[in-house]
Structure 1
Amino acid sequence: MYQILIVDDEIHAVEGIYSGVDWNKLGITAVFKAYTVRQAKEIFVQEHIDIMLCDIEMPQATGLELAEWVRECYPSTETIFLTCHADFKYAKQALQLGGLDYILKPVPFAELEKVLERAIDKINKESEMVQYSQFGQFWFQNQPMLIERFWQDILNQTVPSNPKAISQAAADRNISYFEDMVFIPVLLSIQRWYKPLSLRDEKILEYALKNLAEEILLESRKDRTIISLGNRRILVIIPIDEKQEDISELEESSQRYIEACSHYFYCDISCYIGEKVHGHGMLETVSKLKEMERNNVAYSNKVLLLSKPKVHSFDYKPADIRLWSVMLEEGAFDKVLTEAMQYLNGVDKDVLNADFLKRFYQNFQQMMHYILQTKGIQAHQLFSDLNSQEVSENATRSVTHLQVWVKYTVIKAKEYILSLEQSQSVVQRVIQFINLHISKDLSREEIANHVYLNPDYLTRIFKKETGMAISDYLLQERLRIAQELLVKTDMPISAVASQIGYSNFSHFSRTFKKHTNLNPNEYRQVHQKTLHS
């Protein structure tokens, strides 16, 4: 017969459920009560609980956290959630698909009895399935938490990947394991969420994705293991018969899982199915699956097999970053954005992999930083906020993410540059132009053309605002930079002259001495001694 535990911080709610259900009719012989998560855990230690009826919103720890603990330590227990919130949409869908259920308070007893009947039926079916599993009886005797840690130690190389070491590690944990056991690992990777999620919502959905994987991929069998690898990845380890050749059923169930995730959980997810492997080969096979996942930047919601690797072709035309750079200097941001999108959409999917995206990302980023520099803008002024960092970090996950980053970067740079140009005065723009082109032989006409003004008119307004002529400002800035380079570096004097726009060394020396009373070499000797004294 069966035993149930009711967990709710509201005493009257517990008593109402206790008195409102015909427990004997359901075959439930014992009903336990707990008003905190701590009390519930104590009862689990003392009693065998078949079904837990649990409120979600409780002080100190939530019902979801208690359910996660129960799932790890007492996996045969079925959990039914209660809540007062009718709009708890994510949890409702997640828990229903994960093999659990969800009832809105106040509890309708007729509905509760039907849910309890389904839970009992599920418990009976799982018990029958384990009896027919080749290795199920051995693995069912152990707590899944210990088995999960066993595989994690293998994947983390805490346990060496050799048969004797793995067998010894299993024996130390009292896990029944045989060297000739064969497994198929399946890597589940969340590629993107369809909408922004709070940390709470994402945690609930990831919890639900694991439950759904247990329901569809593991078929609720206890001889199979599911492990969270972090970074939106889940690993499923399925023991199989070594003689089993056909994995079409696993492909079909993986596709059903993907379709359910896309429909109910607002995400793209792909499944990577490994090859048959013994325990000591698990690390190598999972590493291959991770590399396969890393290089899948073109396909979403796909089932991919390690036994059928995609052949990458490198026959492609690289993006014309130099041309785009010239176009951006001329302000053609929209045109560059259009061409970049067309280029990424036109690349053959067989070419696309993680390295391709990384090269494009780095080259495009370098171009954007150069354009910002020519405008006197430092990249961190635009892209140091949390949203920019998140978009950048995800850029090489897939072509879709890369396109989001390209669009975000180009539009933000365009808006910032236009805003800056509109807010600057003519004199500020002239000073910025001079500072950016100090190494060139700038003429008064060239400077005036930059701000679309007559040279004489520009000279008058520049002197009115700064108190000096444009030529005097240009000379002042060149001499200031030359003085710093002579003192702080060992650059040849001819290189210093070239750095500030003097191609004639003699002319530079005469000009420098005229304004400092020392020639460049004398200036360096005097001031370097002062600097190091």
Structure 2
Amino acid sequence: MFNLLVVDDEKFAVKGITQGIDWSDLPIGQIYEAYGAEEAKRILTACPIDVLISDIEMPDANGLKLQEWVKEQSPFTETVFLTGHANFDYAQKAIQLGSFNYLLKPVDHSQLKEIVAKAIHQIQSEKELLDFNKTYETYYKHWLNQLPILVERFWQEVLAGKIPLTQERLQAAFEMYGIPLNAQSLVIPVLISVEQWKEDLNARDEEIMGYALRKAGAEMILQEHPGCVILDQNGFHLVLLYVQDSPPVPTELDRRCYDYIQACNRFFHCSLSCYIGEKTPVTEINQVVGTLLRMERDNVVKVNCVLHQLRDEVPGSLLPAAPSITDWLLLYELGKLDELLLRIDELTARMQQGAVRSETLQALGYGLIHMVYHVGHKKGLSIQNMFPHDELQDIAAATRSLNQLRSWAIRVVSTGIEYMSRHHQDISAVVAKVQQYMNDHLHEEVSRDDIANFVHLNPAYLSRLFKKETGLSLSEYMLKIRMDKAQKLLIESNRKISSVAEVIGYSHFSHFAKMFKRVTGISPQEYRKKFQTNKS
């Protein structure tokens, strides 16, 4: 609803407008009356007035002076002037002051009502436009705040091949995101590869540190030149320097990258390298970044360095053979940790001096994994129990550099040998427990499953374990201790032979006699007679 104020020094003129016109069919909420400029100002100050109908000639103040005050204090109020004089100067001044309309007295009420209706319509339109502009401004501010993220997403989609690199599509995107490029522009990509964090970071901390690396890259590598620093789909940080009138010369860009690396070493506790690409058209950015990624993958020796696409790219033909580690297997199986660590150091030192590619590291890494599985299977050990933290699953990260591979290999063989040493002691304890159980139950019919359930092991695994530790199968050991017990009873007691058979778990005398003769070479009767006679 809209508020209306009528100002005139003549009371009947005011009442004629406020009460003589039917305002009910217009969206007017309150109608106010004032009989002079000062009273009008008080009402305007106290209440929001949308439409002001004012006489020009009033004793206390000219209506035009009132309008000047209104434009300063209530700029959205629309004013309709009334006057009894057809004075062009008045009309001209009213227009200059931004009045909505100008009518001569006596006023035609229908015409005045029509003008007020138009004024209200204009106010509605202006309010809607103002609301729209406020809404637009709010979202525009949000959009500006999000613009760096939108720019990063645009470049990520370009590098991922999700956006066709046509001139029309690129030009439209550059204009939309305010990127100071055109479809023919050149860019210089710089790939930043974090080689190692010097402190253990969880996923959240690493993401925060990555953000800090990108901010520092923008400040130290881009400096005053236009460009952006993004996180690409491969997890690498990528500087895109937009080539304009005076891009940094190669030596200057090198210096910036070296300064950046030293700062990251010092403040972010990480080692990293920068791979600088050549100037390339935006439409060919994918190929150049792909080359930088291959360079990063093939660099497994140099750290904290600056490499150039044209100068430092390694030809694909220089691929050294993977070193042999067959002698490591025996050292690992025998638990010779110190000697094995020495071999690892010697090999990585030799590789540090030669041409090494990522494929070489991968072959060495998978060779170590094969060694661990081979020895573990041979010893009947669970690799999952040996490496509960999935150290063997880190092969991709472990082979990113020679230093990382060395650290990973040392960690793997140390963990494996320590586990095998500890598990050998555990095996002896399990076997002793099984032997005691069998001694306590030799008078019963005990199966392999009964024994395995007692020590909570798989029956087949327990059989292999027991045989390896004692040289006897479970059944052979049970037979041995039963026959040892039978021999002792035959010599030291006068029990009937059938009673001896029952004591050691044989319900059938004939089966006992058969097994006894198989072990001793003679029957139970002959054994008792022979050894009791000797004892006498």
Which TM-score band (shorter chain)? 0.5 to 0.7
Q: 1:393 to 1:215 in 2, by over 3 A?
A: same
Matched, 1:214 2:229: no
Larger radius of gyration, structure 1 or 2?
Answer: 2
Rounded Cα–Cα distance in structure 1 between residues aligned with 2:482 and 2:165: 77
Q: Which residue of 1 aligns with 2:411?
A: 408
Q: Unaligned stretches of 5+ in structure 1?
A: 1-41, 50-68, 76-142, 440-446, 470-533
Q: 1:177 to 1:219 in 2, by over 3 A?
A: closer
User: Contact 1:161/1:283 (CA < 8 Å) preserved in 2?
Assistant: no
Normalising to structure 2: TM-score of the pair? 0.53
Q: 1:424 to 1:267 in 2, by over 3 A?
A: same
State the Cα distance separating 1:349 from its structure 2 match: 4.7
1:53-202 equivalences in 2 (<5 Å): 73-74=144-145, 143-170=147-174, 177-202=181-206
Rounded Cα–Cα distance in structure 2 between residues aligned with 1:149 and 1:427: 59
Q: 1:295 to 1:43 in 2, by over 3 A?
A: farther
Q: Which residue of 1 aligns with 2:477?
A: 462
Give the counterpart letter for 1:286 in structure 2.
Answer: V
Matched, 1:394 2:409: no
Matched, 1:346 2:350: yes
State the Cα distance separating 1:165 from its structure 2 match: 4.3
Aligned Cα root-mean-square deviation (Å):
4.1
State the Cα distance separating 1:201 from its structure 2 match: 3.4
Rounded Cα–Cα distance in structure 2 between residues aligned with 1:154 and 1:459: 67
Rounded Cα–Cα distance in structure 1 between residues aligned with 2:428 and 2:169: 73
1:124-523 equivalences in 2 (<5 Å): 143-170=147-174, 177-221=181-225, 223-229=226-232, 232-241=235-244, 246-308=249-311, 309-311=313-315, 314=318, 318-385=322-389, 388=391, 391-425=394-428, 428=431, 462-463=477-478
Identity of counterpart residues, as a percentage? Answer: 25
SS in 1 for 2:301: coil
User: Contact 1:163/1:279 (CA < 8 Å) preserved in 2?
Assistant: no
Give the counterpart letter for 1:463 in structure 2.
Answer: M
Once the two structures are superposed, what CA deviation does each residue of 1:338-361 show, in whole Å capped at 9, x if it has no partner?
A: 202210121145521211111110
Give the counterpart letter for 2:144 in structure 1.
Answer: C
State the Cα distance separating 1:376 from its structure 2 match: 0.5
Once the two structures are superposed, what CA deviation does each residue of 1:12-61 show, in whole Å capped at 9, x if it has no partner?
A: xxxxxxxxxxxxxxxxxxxxxxxxxxxxxx99955999xxxxxxxxxxxx
Q: 1:293 to 1:329 in 2, by over 3 A?
A: same
Once structures 1 and 2 are overlaid, which stretch shifts more, 278-287 or 225-234? Answer: 225-234
Q: Unaligned stretches of 5+ in structure 2?
A: 1-133, 435-447, 449-456, 485-536
Q: Larger relative contact order (C-alpha < 8 A, sep ≥ 6)?
A: 1
Rounded Cα–Cα distance in structure 2 between residues aligned with 1:214 and 1:74: 17
Rounded Cα–Cα distance in structure 2 between residues aligned with 1:383 and 1:231: 28
State the Cα distance separating 1:411 from its structure 2 match: 0.9
Aligned residues: 326
Q: 1:419 to 1:253 in 2, by over 3 A?
A: same
User: Contact 1:369/1:379 (CA < 8 Å) preserved in 2?
Assistant: yes
Give the counterpart letter for 1:282 in structure 2.
Answer: I
Give the counterpart letter for 2:299 in structure 1.
Answer: N
SS in 1 for 2:192: strand
User: Contact 2:192/2:238 (CA < 8 Å) preserved in 1?
Assistant: yes
Rounded Cα–Cα distance in structure 1 between residues aligned with 2:179 and 2:319: 51
State the Cα distance separating 1:149 from its structure 2 match: 2.9
1:18-57 equivalences in 2 (<5 Å): none
Q: 1:44 to 1:191 in 2, by over 3 A?
A: farther
Q: 1:316 to 1:293 in 2, by over 3 A?
A: closer
